Structure 1
Amino acid sequence: MKKLFIIVISLAILVIITIVYLGITPSTEQFKDKEGNVLPNSIATLEEIELGKMKQWISIRGKDKSNPVLLWLHGGPGSAQMSLAHHLDKELEEEFIVVHWDQRRGAGKSNHDGFNEKDMTFEQYKSDAHELVGYLQTYLKKEKIYLLGHSWGTQLGIELVNDYPEDFYAYIGVSQVVDNRRGVELAYDWLIEEIKKNNDQASLTKLEQIGKPPYSHSQYREFAQLVILYGGNLDTQMWRLALIAAGAPEYTFMDYYRLLNGMNRGGGPMHQDGEMLHFNFIEEIPSVKVPTFFLNGKNDYNTPLQLVEEYYNKIEAPQKDLIVFENSAHTPFLKETERFNRNIIQIKDMTLRKN
């Protein structure tokens, strides 16, 4: 009994220490000069605003409020980016007002208890994003903004710039979704070749159990784990991402729970009829009216470079470029952060001169 009591007390102390370390009150670090004074024209705020009749969280950070806005649409759904921003965005915050949004209905701080999963629809996400763009234009007094989407966020992003080109200086698609059915087929062919090359019978058996695409959402999640295992998706280990995220003052102890819960849910509720939603932007959006830039890892088999190259060659835009990261897979902003940020800043310098 005494041993059990000690274990219980030890666990309770560990939980308390964890809560204290991770925090119970969210905040975001202010921009200060060498004397510790807040820079007068900076902005660093964490806000809960209403989008689509639901409270959702955004962070707004920039050293100079006269800089243009860069809105980041994260991947997933569910893979909120705000908890990594303090580690990745320092250079960008010198040149932009960087906005991260924990998307409603299942991501990070916006993953409220009891929300209706039936509201997790593509059209609702797009409507929320459009409403957020309008909010930022009004709140920050900007006629246009820069839009950056990553992975799932590129599905929202390319549709937003297609429908509302007047709102944007440029669109930046990082790991652009092009044709998700063909993308999975390309990844399957690559994966089975890699598995056989490595004589990995366990993975081969697993892949055979999953079967060939097209996939349901649950099948795709199993398939994606094999893609990760063979280096075609994440560019860093999960434990390292967890350590980075743990240092985010914007997140509380409960926010980390919400983040993990949302990541685990993913986009499952959006695919209740079996096969995942299908997008083919080569056919659906063959042209846009804003400068468009694709940034992709060479080793990406979540959104394969082959399809991004196809789309880049076919899409019509006032200005376009494809930037390939030779050492990255699906997350070049994690693997090659310095070069990634430099490219984003160069895109701003090129496009602002023409607006």
Structure 2
Amino acid sequence: MITALLIASAATLAAPVAGALGHRWLKQAAGARLMRIDAPTGIDEQGFVRIGGIEQWISVRGEHRDNPVVLEIHGGPGASNAIYGPLTRAWEKHFTIVRWDMRGTGKTLHRSGADHQGELSFARLYEDAVEVTHHIRTRLDVDRVVLVANSFGSTFGLRLARQYPNLYSAYVGTDQNINDAGRDDTAHLTLLTRLHAAGKHKELAALEEMGPDARTWTSEQHAAYAKIAATSDPLTFSTMKAVVMKSLWFSPLHSLRELGALGKGMKLSEQILPATAGFDDWADGTSFDLPFFIFQGDQDVLTPTDRAKRFFDDVQAPVKDFALIEDASHFASFRHPEQFLHLMLTKVRPLVTNQGQAAAK
């Protein structure tokens, strides 16, 4: 959803690169030291696994193998979470964090190139997610994992949680994306109002031409909408610059060539967006047979907080909870990783730990 904005921001960042490579190297080295796992009980594995017929990158990191396992489903599409490793290092003290670059994304794309990614569709990536889940359960010898999905990844996440409750000990959505087959145009109207007040006539005209029904948009229009929504909101835009782009540029896990693959992957993956615009999460079902959590930025304009809350209110689940991450728009868990971790520790970890203890008896 934020593909065009990331690419535009990357282009801006690239201008002073020649004089900044030394600084980048120092920051990368510091990040690598921070991410080092020395605990004898720990795990730090990064490499390629054959998923859906191609080699896909998977990282497994944590300080204790007995901790609950978290499988992340990243957003974008094509926006790898691997860049946030230094920001989320504290999570690995309490959870084993599994990060996966989907086909068409990051290291998976860089491995074999755009012509060897196979089918890039929502259905294909969904099947990959199921296969990754089974791989992790086998590799780590666990019955179920905590499913944490953010942004566009939460479109997959809801469907995985609904269809496969036996594979997941809990569902946690953040930057939760809720589809309603175009019934609610509140976010579109709010954005029009914001653009009008700011005097952004060019963006206003583009948005009016697109119309409110995302089901009629092209992949380019989906990307344009996200860019306009993000750049016109000060909190989202500041997060893009201070959190997302800095994490991208200083990532200790990525070479300069791999940074290029991240940008190419986000552009390549835009083609997935139109097929999901007609999804209807209410019609697909609000009943979940597993603990259900949404931890949302209190000011999210890309995946609106009020829509996520309305869906949550209709959810039926054995346990459910909704919490706001304060002073956050989109990318809430990465803007305030300490707030997100606190929610995971107080609301999710005790529950899934008790589940594991009960299963072992």
1:288 CA displacement: 0.9
Q: CA deviation at 1:132?
A: 0.9
Q: Which residue of 2 aligns with 1:229?
A: 231
Matched residue, 2:350: 349
The 1-side partners of 2:249 and 2:184 are apart by 32
Secondary structure of 1:169's match? Answer: strand
C-alpha deviation, 1:121, in angstroms: 1.5
Structure 2 residues not aligned, in runs of 5+: 1-14, 357-361
Q: Decide which of 269, 283, 294 is 1:266's aligned counterpart.
A: 269
SS of the residue corresponding to residue 119 of structure 1 reads coil
The residue aligned with 1:31 is 37
Q: TM-score, normalised by structure 1?
A: 0.84
Structure 1 pair 180/75, CA: closer, same or farther in 2 (3 Å)?
Answer: farther
Deviates more, 1:157-166 or 1:227-236: 227-236
Equivalent position amino acid for 1:216 in 2:
T
Give the paired residue count: 330
Q: 1:237 to 1:286 in 2, by over 3 A?
A: closer
Which region of structure 1 is more displaced relative to structure 2, 50-59 or 199-208? Answer: 199-208
Query: Which one-letter code corresponds to 1:226 in the other structure?
Result: I
Q: Are 1:179 and 2:179 matched, yes or no?
A: yes
Q: Which has the higher helix share?
A: 2
Contact (CA 8 Å) 2:84, 2:334: kept in 1 or not? no
CA–CA separation in structure 2 for the residues paired with 1:276 and 1:63: 37
Closer, same or farther in 2 for the Cα pair 1:199/1:248, shift >3 Å?
Answer: closer
**Equivalents in 2 of 1:57, 1:254: separation in Å?**
16
Counterpart of 2:247 (choices 211, 223, 244) is: 244
- Aligned twin of 2:45: 45
CA 185–300 in structure 1, closer or farther in 2 if over 3 Å, else same: same
How high is the TM-score relative to the length of structure 2? Answer: 0.83
State the distance in 2 between where 1:276 and 1:293 align: 22
Alpha-carbon distance between aligned partners in 1 of 2:180 and 2:117, rounded to the nearest angstrom: 23
Distance 1:136 1:44, change over 3 A: same
> Structure 2 counterpart of 1:30, which letter?
R
- Number of the residue aligned with 1:327: 327
Q: Distance in 2 between matches of 1:335 and 1:58?
A: 23
CA distance 1:179–1:323, change in 2 (3 Å): same
Structure 1 unmatched runs, 5+: 1-10, 33-38
- Which of these two proteins has the greater Rg computed from alpha carbons? 1
3-state SS of 1:44 partner: strand
Q: Which residue does 1:79 correspond to in 2?
A: 79
- Offset at 1:275? 6.8
- How big is the shift at 1:58? 1.1
Q: Map Cα deviations across residues 84-109 of structure 1 (whole Å, 9 max, x no partner).
A: 1222x1221000110110111x1110
Relative to structure 1, the CA distance from residue 125 to residue 302 in structure 2 (aligned partners, 3 Å threshold; closer, same or farther) is same
Q: Relative to structure 1, is the Cα distance of residues 115 and 281 closer, same or farther in structure 2, using a 3 angstrom cutoff?
A: same
